[in-house]
Amino acid sequence: MDICVVGSGYVGLVTGACLADFGMTVVGVDKDADKIAALQRGEIPIYEPGLAPLVARNVAAGRLSFTTELAPALEAATAVFIAVGTPPLPDGSADLRFVREVAESIAAHLNGYKIIVTKSTVPIGTGQMIEETVRAGAGAGAEFAVVSNPEFLREGSAIRDFVRPDRVVIGSRDERAVELMLDIYSPLRVADVPFVITDVESAELIKYASNAFLATKISFINEVAALCEELGADVETVAYGMGLDSRIGPQFLHPGPGFGGSCFPKDTRAVVEIARGRGLDFRIVEAVLAVNDATRERMVDKVERALGELAGKTLGVLGLSFKPDTDDVRESPAIAVARGLIERGARLRVHDPEAMAPARRELADLESIEYCADPYAAAEGVDALVILTEWNQFRALDLARLRRLMRAPVVIDLRNVYEPAKMAAAGFRYLSVGRAEAAAG
Ligand code: NAD
């Protein structure tokens, strides 16, 4: 089947490469000419483990290509996947400008029955909007069906998540469209992945409700961590004990500087706005967002409390991406905390294994940052080292070497990467989240 994927960002690129690997003929489209030129040269514009060889293999097999020309790709396709961005507007609701743009282009080039599949995360009612936009542009007799197929992949494990998802959600009123979707995903059906076949609105809400729930778990454990610090309890043990309850589960119970990335902050804000638009207060999710803001602030306070006045101090910062295994810094809590530390007068020496270039752009307005080639360079002469993203590269640092490089042996680990006793034994004053401070042994 010929497939057109509109938008070649994290979701579109992974979707296109994986569908090509399922045997489909896929054209990836993007209006960003530089991105497409890079892809045509065989360069992958984002860091995502396993994506480069997957793209290369399918391009070489003639199943995957990239273009900025939407019209021919649309005309050749039976299924058009929309994977463009849906960034937040100032009021928190999703900006559907790009989705609407694509729907208008589809209407202009509709040349026979097609399914229009929304992969982007879109508010409830967007399927209806796409249907009306295409109908208005293509005429009353136009043959097409709108499908909601929200994406649940996580950056850093996107390919595994796409090919072995916990579920595939398909929302459509059109039986033929559902059959085509089941064909496209047949490799997942034979692998016994559960399929949820439903209406468009329920499919759209499954995505928002899932992300809001996961964000709730994170804010919840972050508040438990704050309580642990006051009570002298250990949040790691508390989370472990909670997670063993099969009704709760162990995932998303890791305390830290709050959630970030391109999805959780945006989708939680959007779901609050969606509810508000219907005259409802989604009070839990509103609290989840407030806790997340407070958590970031609390981390900056924690560093200041540990070190005293930050003006005149130099801190090493390890990690800038919003989580490991991605170069994505969108709404990264690491960036927010780094910014907060600078605002209180600190100078930073920062390192991230993959996100240095996007972080430089994000923090371009700040002067008190030195970008360092590796963790040891970031530690040189600093008053403390702050771990902000739990990259595996930071889990086995040469502690003796670090200690020699630092002006003062203080590690503030906001991702609980290390064991307090080990750090104390290695001669560090060690502070982490939701656990007692450990003093150099
Ligand atoms: P992204 O910003 O990385 O990519 C979007 C791409 O769409 C960009 O390359 C942009 O140039 C392109 N684009 C915009 N308008 C276009 C148009 N009219 N024609 C062609 N290309 C156009 O975004 P992303 O992270 O891939 O997210 C896409 C959607 O998927 C969002 O709705 C997001 O919420 C959702 N989502 C993201 C993730 C994730 O982890 N990133 C996971 C699940 C769902």
Distance 151 CA to ligand 1 centre (A): 11
Q: Would you tell me how many other CB atoms lie within 10 Å of the CB of residue 140?
A: 6
Q: Once rounded to an integer, what is the mean pLDDT over residues 181-205?
A: 97
Q: Across 101-142, where does the E strand assignment appear?
A: 114-118
pLDDT in tens, 56-103: 999 999 999 999 999 999 999 999 999 999 999 999 889 999 999 999
Distance (Å, rounded) from C-alpha 149 to C-alpha 388?
Answer: 33
Is the pLDDT at 379 greater than 90, yes or no? yes
Residue 441 has pLDDT above 90, yes or no: no
The pLDDT value recorded for residue 52 is 97
How would residue 252 be classed by pLDDT, with cut points 50, 70 and 90? very high
Alpha carbon distance, N-terminus to C-terminus of the chain: 65
Confirm or reject: Cβ of 80 under 6 Å from ligand 1.
no
Contact of 222 with 302, CB cutoff 8 Å:
no
DSSP per-residue codes, 5-17 = EE--SHHHHHHHH
113: CA distance to ligand 1 center in Å? Answer: 25
Paired residues of 64 in beta bridges: 26
Element (DSSP H or E) covering residue 22: none
In 10 A of CB 425, how many CB atoms? 14
CATH 3.40.50.300 fits 294-431, yes or no: no
Q: Is 248 helix (H, G, I), strand (E, B) or coil?
A: coil
For β-strands 144-148 and 2-6, DSSP reports them as: unpaired
Count of Cβ atoms closer than 10 Å to residue 285 Cβ: 24
Would you state the CATH architecture of domain 2-198?
3-Layer(aba) Sandwich (3.40)
125-178 residue pLDDT tens? 999 999 999 999 999 899 999 999 999 999 999 999 999 999 999 999 999 999
Q: How far is the CA of 193 from the centre of ligand 1 (A)?
A: 25
Q: Average pLDDT, whole number, for the chain? A: 97
Cβ–ligand 1 distance for 98 under 6 Å, the answer: yes
Entry pTM? 0.94
Domain assignments of the chain as residue spans, ordered by start:
2-198, 208-288, 294-431
Confidence tier at 440 by pLDDT (50, 70, 90): confident
Does residue 263 carry a catalytic annotation?
A: yes
Specify the DSSP element, H or E, that contains 62: none
Same fold, 208-288 and 294-431: no
- Going from the C-alpha of 51 to that of each of 16, 58, 182, 255, the distances in angstroms are 11, 11, 24, 29
| Nearest-atom index, ligand 1, CA of 267 | 34
CB-side exposure of 109: number of CA atoms within 13 Å? 19
Q: Given phi > 0 = left and psi -120 to 50 = alpha, else beta, which region is 93?
A: beta
Helix (H) or strand (E) holding 26: strand 25-29
H/E stretch holding 413: strand 410-413
User: What is the predicted pLDDT for the residue at 92?
Assistant: 86
Residue nearest to atom 29 of ligand 1 (CA): 120
Q: Give the chain's length.
A: 441
Residue with CA at minimum distance from ligand 1 atom 30: 120
What the block records as the tokens of 72 is 């021919």
The CATH architecture that domain 208-288 belongs to is Orthogonal Bundle (1.10)
Question: Could you read off the pLDDT of 319-359 as tens digits, one per residue?
Answer: 999 999 999 999 999 999 999 999 999 999 999 999 999 99
Does the pLDDT value for residue 301 go beyond 80?
yes
Q: Which of 4, 18, 228, 263 is catalytic?
A: 263
Q: Residue 106: count other Cβ atoms within 10 Å of its Cβ.
A: 25
Assess whether the C-beta atom of 263 lies below 6 angstroms from ligand 1: yes
Beta strand spans in 89-204 (E): 114-118, 144-148, 168-171, 195-198
H or E element that contains 411: strand 410-413
Q: Cβ distance 319 to 387 under 8 Å?
A: yes
pLDDT tens column, 92-134: 889 999 999 999 999 999 999 999 999 999 999 999 999 999 9
